[in-house]
């Protein structure tokens, strides 16, 4: 099994969005942060040998990290066809029996899995967009690893408790948002984002 550092290097070589969609809040997930998140899931025994769903997979960085760390199979769920095209390029060379790409809205995803990993929209453009992802994750798995703005911690706690989940770990990051849209004035800015690890109580 590769080290966390080597995993980050591997992820840094993946293709990212050509023309990110502002309404979908499409931003590339930093490779080192992605590696840190999935490594944490691996150390918690939620990756190796497990069926994993990457909800709102984008170009696949989180799910591919799970494949690298021994997931039995990864279901990549993404509704944007352009992102799916890039995702499929990133999956070139992986055993096709170990993954499925599902081009659909997460609302149509009905499978139960061992672990959900996701970096959903933060709800900046579409209010409560992250809520829909959380509700789908709660109905799909007993173990969830999800990125959200740190400022929403109280909301994450409330919605988790209301759905029978508890917060078992929280990792804080300075999430780099690289200049991707015309209204961005700086080349890169960092926002306070946390990885929330939620477990069925």
User: Would you state the pLDDT for residue 90?
Assistant: 98
Transcribe 126-179 into DSSP letters: STTHHHHHHHHHHHH-SEEEEEEEGGGHHHHHHHHHHTTEEEEEEEEEEEEEE-
> End-to-end CA distance of the chain, in Å?
31
Q: What mean pLDDT do residues 17-33 have?
A: 74
User: Would you state the pLDDT for residue 176?
Assistant: 87
Q: How far apart are CA 8 and CA 86, in angstroms?
A: 19
User: Would you state the pLDDT for residue 127?
Assistant: 73
pLDDT tens-digit map of 124-182: 666 778 999 999 999 999 999 999 999 999 999 999 999 999 999 999 999 987 655 45
Domain boundaries, the chain: 4-17+24-200
Instruction: Give the residue from 54, 166, 175 showing the smallest Cα distance to 118.
Output: 54
* pLDDT beyond 70 at 100: yes
Q: Please give the DSSP secondary-structure letter assigned to residue 195.
A: E
* pLDDT beyond 80 at 26: no
User: Would you state the pLDDT for residue 184?
Assistant: 46
* pLDDT beyond 50 at 114: yes
Res. 185 pLDDT band, cuts 50 70 90: low
Q: How far apart are CA 134 and CA 117, in angstroms?
A: 11
User: Would you state the pLDDT for residue 1?
Assistant: 72
pTM assigned to the model: 0.93
**Degrees, nearest 5: CA angle 8-13-179:** 95
CATH superfamily of 4-17+24-200: Vaccinia Virus protein VP39 (3.40.50.150)
Is-contact 129 110, C-beta < 8 A?
Answer: no
* pLDDT beyond 70 at 73: yes
Looking from the CA of 20 toward its CB, the CA atoms found within 13 Å total: 20
pLDDT tens-digit map of 45-64: 999 999 999 999 999 999 99
Instruction: Give the residue from 98, 99, 95, 119 showing the smallest Cα distance to 34.
Output: 119
Q: How far apart are CA 173 and CA 89, in angstroms?
A: 28
User: Would you state the pLDDT for residue 17?
Assistant: 79
Please give the order of strands across the beta sheet that includes 99-103.
99-103, 73-78, 51-55, 115-118, 143-149, 188-200, 165-178
């Amino acid at each position: 099994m590769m080290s966390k550092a080597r995993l980050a290097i591997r992820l840094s070589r993946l293709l990212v969005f050509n023309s990110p969609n502002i309404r979908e809040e499409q931003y590339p997930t930093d490779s080192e942060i992605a590696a840190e998140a999935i490594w944490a899931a691996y150390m918690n025994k939620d990756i190796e040998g497990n069926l994993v769903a990457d909800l709102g997979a984008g170009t696949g960085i989180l799910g591919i990290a799970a494949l690298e760390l021994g997931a039995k199979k990864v279901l990549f769920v993404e509704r944007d066809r352009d992102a799916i095209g890039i995702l499929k390029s990133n999956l070139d060379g992986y055993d096709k029996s170990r993954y499925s790409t599902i081009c659909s809205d997460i609302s149509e995803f009905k499978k139960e899995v061992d672990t959900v990993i996701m970096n959903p929209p933060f709800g900046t453009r579409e209010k409560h967009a992250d809520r829909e992802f959380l509700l789908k994750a709660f109905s799909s798995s007993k173990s969830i690893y999800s990125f959200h703005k740190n400022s929403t911690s109280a909301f994450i706690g409330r919605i988790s408790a209301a759905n029978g989940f508890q917060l078992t770990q929280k990792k804080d990051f300075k999430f780099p948002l690289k200049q991707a849209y015309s209204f961005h004035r700086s080349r890169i800015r960092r926002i306070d984002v946390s990885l929330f690890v939620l477990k069925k109580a």
